Amino acid sequence: METQPVEFLTQRPSPEDDFTFGFDVVAIGNALVDVLTSSTDEHLTSLGLVKGTMALVDSTQSRAIYETLGATMEASGGSAANTMAGVAALGGQAAFLGRVADDALGTAFSHDIRSIGVAFEPKPVTGISGEKVTGHCLVLVTEDAERTMATHLGVASEFALDDLHDEHLSTTQIVYLEGYLWDQPAAKAAMREAIDRAHAADASVALTLSDPFCVEAHRSEFLELLSNDLDLLFANEEEIKLLFKAGTFDEAASQLAEAGVLGALTRGAQGSVVVTPAGTINVPAAAVDRVVDTTGAGDLFAAGFLYGITHGMDPERAARLGGVCAAEIISHVGARPQADLRRLAIDAGLLDS
């Protein structure tokens, strides 16, 4: 599918140049399999987990937490991978760069993401039980639909320069970076290289801040990226306030506008806010009958937004599409779409049939 360039983000090759993008978005992130279960506030406290956040754990801690869980359900996940799943579900061309082992979870992850139309060609990694395993995330969902995560990255944390796919990076409109992966030195170096390759190919660069702990750990580097490398930033209300050390959301949004980078900020039930150098646009949340599980809400909002701006939508309309995708994902357990996202977007008047 040939798509139009994102002209308001960066100066891109024009249609007259006979340039065809291979992908709308290429994402780099942790390849994980989610293990979902119901939980309680008391259970989270007993495990030392902070409700609503993600904690990195080693294999021993992961096994110990797993032993306390009730019935579980496995589903392929990973923040940026979920976003690419959403882009593909809408009809877009998406690729994912991440690392898995050749174990059962890695086989399942690879099958799942390819089956929904996302290009995934990882470097082979031989699994070693208890040592080199595919990353997995224990997702504990409380009655209020809030999710708390304990993540063992496994080989996902070993993502490095040789995991980059130059053909994908050189033929995409947007390179989308997952903030979670910034924690790993080798992965950070790879993402910096991906930024350089994106710029060389006139692609735009987007970053999702991922989690408050990522912002607290890498605030100065994220601000540097914002000043020098990014065209688009995704964040929720807490993350953007932490990034700018702002007392209020409005103050943080104002500082983002001054940075001159397009921002797509989510605020839960309050919807989203699009931030441009010219000001902010408030976009209401899409209606949902019942919130079941907020896992992946931000990921799928990003999917709709990215699909929208790579297919000629203005940022406000793209945010509305993101809202439709987020509403679908929070209506069920799991972070991958279950309903037909494109049909939902058509029914909402955002896409043509």
**Contact call for residues 272 and 301 (beta carbons, < 8 A):** yes
Nearest CA to 174 out of 319, 335, 303, 79 is that of 303
Cα gap 207→197, rounded to integer Å: 15
**Mutual orientation of helices 79-89 and 297-309 as an angle, nearest 10°?**
50
pLDDT-derived band at 15 (thresholds 50, 70, 90) equals very low
Instruction: State the average pLDDT over residues 78-104.
Output: 96
What is the CATH T-level fold of the domain 19-30+78-126+158-347, as seen in this structure? UDP-N-acetylmuramoyl-L-alanine:D-glutamate ligase (3.40.1190)
pTM value surpassing 0.85: yes
pLDDT of residue 116: 94
Q: What is the pLDDT of residues 115-173, one digit of tens each?
A: 999 999 998 798 887 778 999 999 999 999 888 999 999 999 999 999 999 899 999 99
Domain borders along the chain are: 19-30+78-126+158-347
pLDDT of residue 9: 52
Of 102-111, 249-258, 290-299, 321-330, give the lowest mean pLDDT range.
290-299
